[in-house]
Amino acid sequence: MEYGKIISVTGLGGLYELVGSKKDGAIVRSLEDKSTKFVASRVHNFSHLESIEVYTVRDNVNLVDVLTAMENSTEPLPSDKDGSAVKAYFQKVYPDMDFERVYASDMKKMVKWFSVLKANNVEIKLSQQEEEGESEESAEGVEVTEPDTQVAGVEKTEGQ
């Protein structure tokens, strides 16, 4: 399962895999109970985990950076029910987090999401990193005579 296909849906708890999209909504599969359902975009908003950023004392960071720090930490994961334990956990694991702007409920959600992602063996990394790595590998030692439209589109997006 790819991290880039994981979304959060407003009004529904947990994380979902984006199975398909339609003009008026999306077909999603719950990572917790594996149920598949249609979710109307008129009622719910969708947030890709890749697009979520977390406030820090410096620049905002992508959620992937926080989840990676959690993955690399030797600290035991706290219960997502205890707000003070969750805050103490993040003060050790990701001390740059801006604890005045990141609410306890958001930190609890990150702990819960991390548990769900690990239970489903989701590799926590941005899909853009994969594409950049693949294009660099394919460009080594190969003379390209025609521009690759996908790579050109990525470069144009990054330059904006």
Query: Are both 18 and 72 inside the same structural domain?
Result: no
| pLDDT surpasses 80 at 159 | no
Query: Are both 114 and 89 inside the same structural domain?
Result: yes
Residue 9 domain flag:
yes
DSSP SS3 for 125: coil
18-27, 51-60, 150-159: least confidently modelled range: 150-159
Q: Which domain holds residue 72?
A: 52-119
Q: Average pLDDT in the 124-151 region?
A: 49
Cβ atoms 86, 111 nearer than 8 A? yes
**Residue corresponding to tokens 């103490």:** 88
Residue 58 domain flag:
yes
Residue 23 domain flag:
yes
Query: Are both 43 and 66 inside the same structural domain?
Result: no
Q: Tell me the CATH number at 85.
A: 1.10.10.1650
Q: How confident is the model over 31-69, as pLDDT tens digits?
A: 999 999 999 999 999 999 999 999 999 999 999 999 999
Residue 145 domain flag:
no
Q: Average pLDDT in the 118-147 region?
A: 59
Q: How confident is the model over 59-116, as pLDDT tens digits?
A: 999 999 999 999 999 999 998 899 999 999 999 999 999 999 999 999 999 999 999 9
Query: Are both 58 and 107 inside the same structural domain?
Result: yes
What type of residue sits at position 11?
G
Cβ atoms 18, 7 nearer than 8 A? yes
How many domains are there within the chain? Answer: 2
Residue 156 domain flag:
no
